[in-house]
Structure 1
Amino acid sequence: MFKKSIRFPLIYFVASTVWQLIIKKDIEWINNIGVCFIMILFISLYSWAKKPYEWKKEK
């Protein structure tokens, strides 16, 4: 589950870092890491919430 949730944010992090290096010549590390962390959190929570809970599984 974690491998699936980290793929898109990692691609975003690399792409935004390269974009900022080419265009701005100044990389905003804190902004890139923060957005990447929030994306990982949301994707992980979404995939966790998508899994249905089986009521009365024990009984």
Structure 2
Amino acid sequence: MRPTQVNGRPALVLRTGGEIVTVLAVRLEGGLITVLYAVRNPEKLSRIHRETAVDR
């Protein structure tokens, strides 16, 4: 797991064997997590590699 930002939101990127398997992002309001987004769709995750530097 690595902390990062995805679409401007705080997120965790989970990898297995070097491949991204899940991205968890949160929406914060008033210092509280109000929404948790989990993406596991391989087609969407493949764009993370191409469009976003996911390492700090």
Larger RCO, structure (CA 8 Å, separation 6 or more): 1
With normalisation by structure 1, the TM-score equals: 0.24
**Larger helix fraction of residues:** 1
